[in-house]
A and B are shown apart, each in its own frame.
Chain A
Amino acid sequence: MKKILVLMLSLILVFSLVACSKDDGGSDGGLIKVGVINNDPNESGYRTANDAAMRSTFTKENGYDANFYNNNDAAQQIATAQQMIQDEVDYLLLSPASTTGWDQVLKDAKTAGIQVILFDRMLEADEDMYVAAVVSDMAAEGKTAVDWLASQGLSEYNIIHIQGHMGSDAQVGRTGALDEKVAAEASWSYVTQQTADWSEETARTIVQSVIDAGTPFNVIYAENNGMARGAVAALDANGITHGKGGDVIVMGFDSDKWAFESVLSGSWNYMGLCNPLQAEKVDKIIKDLEKGTKPAQKIIYSDEPGFNCDTLTQADVDKFGT
């Protein structure tokens, strides 16, 4: 009896695994064969939206025979890329987990006549090695955000800076702009500068510890929305007002719909848009390439404005929210 129970449990688990990894195998003639290498969709809401868009764009109905792979480990990504080159895909779509280490993959792809298109994340390589890169300009995002913050005209900026995963494209870009400003202005200073590794929970703990220490602060600059949310939870728990008309300015990044709504409701002050939806653009580039048209530019930046609680409209939320 016990054994049967055990067996059933094992079966349930196996089935659930099979269910979530259902993939259509086999390739029909006439389909464009693409290999998509992306990061872990569970990493953040941003990534979830990004991955979902890729998967819904590169479908059979849309003329693609696509193979998806998700991992946050660059070494695994590289191994899979090599496998995909072996499998002779037509296009290799890449969102690299690290900026380095891709030389061999790019070289092999070139030799095999496979076109590489980067999306969302850049890597360090000669421009000849890929056809196009559809990416976010993280440094520009940071600059837009810092400029907006400066425009608020506070007499003192005491900032809690919650960083993302250290060394990632987004963290480097968004931190760079703020670091520069804090170094340049006497009235700008960090209360604390800590990485929460994209974790909402860690962000909450960091802000709580600042509150417990009793150090005054008036800005929270969180490098993604999840961490901003964690920070706000700590503020709420301690009765510190925030957002429009509050004591603390709250800033986040990315494109989550709920975050837009927080800005719209005035609970947050600012959200820097980081558009996860590159799929459409990548799709267009491939379709053009198939017709023989090369993209006009190598690096295609998404248009990524910042939104604040004074100017955000419901129309923006509907347009950009994911």
Chain B
Amino acid sequence: MSPSVKTPEAKTKKPEDSFFKRLIRQQLFIPIAALLLLVVFNLIADPSFFTISLKENSLGNPVLSGNIISVLDNASELVILAIGMTLVTAASGGQDISVGATMAIAGSVILRMVCGGQITSDTMQMNLFLAVLIGAVVAMLFGAFNGALVAYFKIQPMVATLIMFTAGRSIAAWINNNQLPIINDIAFKYAGTFLPGIPVPTPIFITVLVIFIFWLAMKRTNLGLYTQSVGINANSSRLNGLDPKLIKLMTYVILGACVAVAGFIRVSRSGSINYSRIAENIEMDAILAVALGGNALSGGKFNIYGSILGAYVIQFLTTTLYKYNVPSTALPAYKAVVVIALVVLSSPVVREKMSGLKKRPAKTAKEVS
């Protein structure tokens, strides 16, 4: 399958290509380089950044604590969203900007289920898995709504998802009658904090599981081939028997499932929800993660692992900035600067130039024919 870490270039390289040039051409070069840069910066500025200590949390469980754990933990929602966003981007050539709002909906539904409609509840009123499943179904329905607008009504993705972006948080509030439900059952918080006796935050496990599922899907299904084919040339895909509309719709439904998982983690961290603040602006970070991973936002070929790395880079950056006491209101500005630099660097134009710097112009396969 194409979206694998090994990019095709590896094989077509000619011996005279320098190591540097080969490196630059890798799609994953930019996110990996950015990650290394952040690591090196922190190593030099304050090596204690990487300390991980074993503590005991308030429930008496042993837990790991440290910046690195925080990065991995806090990036979970973003990574999961970035995976879904990559598929949507690939197939429909646009992005879903309603993921934050839909997360609020999914979280709201889950909380309503486990609270049994009450404002506060000390025990879960419904089986947690069932509640999450219902939340997932709702989020996937909203995903299908977005997907239908994009695929069948041919509305630009950003415009189509603007509807849910605007209305989503109100719908989330409406689901709970404008109340802020709180669940105090410690078991509900396992998914967002720690499982008893396990020192690694649960979101990290959930993220690994989601990545594994997608790895499997890439291997065992034609998800990659179909979405890329539709994103690159919908006409050709149709003439080869694919249903481009259905495939676009499918990617939005998959993103809906990702949103539900991310929303569940988010509400499970605290057992409550704040409709207008939960996962605010996360859609922008998710889109950035896709771009940072070297994926074209106009769709087509993608590398899902690039997006995952991109998401971790963004979280790493956020955590680093917090660590150096950058005011949280100024965070977006810093992020923007770094992100602009990275995105420009990962643009094909610049990379072409960079790989051309070292030696004479790269030979492309065009000359072969």
Given A16-B171, A239-B55, residue A197 in contact with residue B178 (CB < 8 A): no
Given A9-B141, A233-B269, A233-B270, residue A238 in contact with residue B120 (CB < 8 A): no
Given A204-B269, A257-B120, residue A6 in contact with residue B74 (CB < 8 A): no
Binds A, one of B294-302, B317-325, B346-354, B360-368: B317-325
Given A6-B148, A41-B178, A48-B178, residue A205 in contact with residue B322 (CB < 8 A): yes
Contact B48 A214 (CB under 8 A): yes
User: For this complex, into which size category does the number of interface residues on chain A fall?
Assistant: 35 or more
Most buried by B among A16, A72, A258: A258
Query: Is there a chain B Cβ closer than 8 Å to A276's Cβ?
Result: no
Q: Which residues of A1-34 have CB atoms within 8 Å of chain B's CB atoms?
A: 2-3, 5-6, 9-10, 12-13, 16-17, 19-20
A257 to B120, CA, bound (A): 10
Contact B328 A202 (CB under 8 A): yes
**How far apart are B49's CB and chain A's nearest CB, in angstroms?**
8
Q: What chain B residues lie within 8 Å of A318 (beta carbons)?
A: none
**Closest B residue by C-beta to A16:** B171
Given A9-B141, A9-B145, A205-B74, residue A42 in contact with residue B169 (CB < 8 A): yes
Query: Is there a chain A Cβ closer than 8 Å to B237's Cβ?
Result: no
Query: Is there a chain B Cβ closer than 8 Å to A223's Cβ?
Result: no
Contact A48 B270 (CB under 8 A): no
Q: Which residues of A40-84 have CB atoms within 8 Å of chain B's CB atoms?
A: 40-45, 48, 51-52, 72
Contact A258 B120 (CB under 8 A): yes
Query: Is there a chain A Cβ closer than 8 Å to B144's Cβ?
Result: yes
**Closest B residue by C-beta to A10:** B145
Contact B270 A199 (CB under 8 A): no
Q: What chain B residues lie within 8 Å of A100 (beta carbons)?
A: none
Question: Which of A10, A194, A239 meets B56, CB within 8 Å?
Answer: A239
**Closest B residue by C-beta to A7:** B148
Contact A212 B70 (CB under 8 A): yes
Question: Which of A42, A192, A198 meets B325, CB within 8 Å?
Answer: A192
A201 to B318, CA, bound (A): 13
Q: What chain A residues lie within 8 Å of B180 (beta carbons)?
A: 45, 48, 256
Given A197-B277, A229-B270, A257-B120, residue A2 in contact with residue B178 (CB < 8 A): no
User: For this complex, into which size category does the number of interface residues on chain B fall?
Assistant: 35 or more
Contact B145 A13 (CB under 8 A): yes
Question: Which of A41, A212, A238 meets B67, CB within 8 Å?
Answer: A212
Binds A, one of B16-24, B57-65, B226-234: B57-65
A197 to B331, CA, bound (A): 12
Given A42-B173, A237-B193, residue A200 in contact with residue B57 (CB < 8 A): no
Q: Can you name 21 A-B residue pairings with CB atoms under 8 Å?
A: A2-B245, A10-B145, A10-B148, A12-B141, A13-B167, A44-B274, A45-B180, A48-B180, A51-B178, A52-B178, A192-B325, A195-B328, A197-B329, A198-B277, A201-B270, A204-B270, A205-B318, A209-B319, A211-B65, A236-B57, A237-B57
What residues make up the interface of B, taking CB atoms closer than 8 Å to A? 48, 51, 55-59, 63, 65-67, 70, 74, 119-120, 141, 144-145, 148, 152-153, 167, 169-174, 178-180, 182, 193-194, 201, 245-246, 249, 266, 269-270, 272, 274-280, 318-319, 322-323, 325, 327-329
What residues make up the interface of A, taking CB atoms closer than 8 Å to B? 2-3, 5-6, 9-10, 12-13, 16-17, 19-20, 40-45, 48, 51-52, 72, 166, 192, 194-202, 204-206, 208-209, 211-214, 226, 229-230, 233, 235-241, 256-258
If A2-B246, A200-B272, A213-B67 are given as contacts, then 5 extra A-B residue pairs at C-beta distance below 8 Å, sorted by A number, are A212-B323, A213-B323, A236-B59, A238-B63, A239-B57
Closest 10 CB pairs of A and B: A42-B275, A209-B322, A6-B148, A42-B276, A20-B174, A199-B277, A236-B58, A239-B57, A239-B56, A212-B67
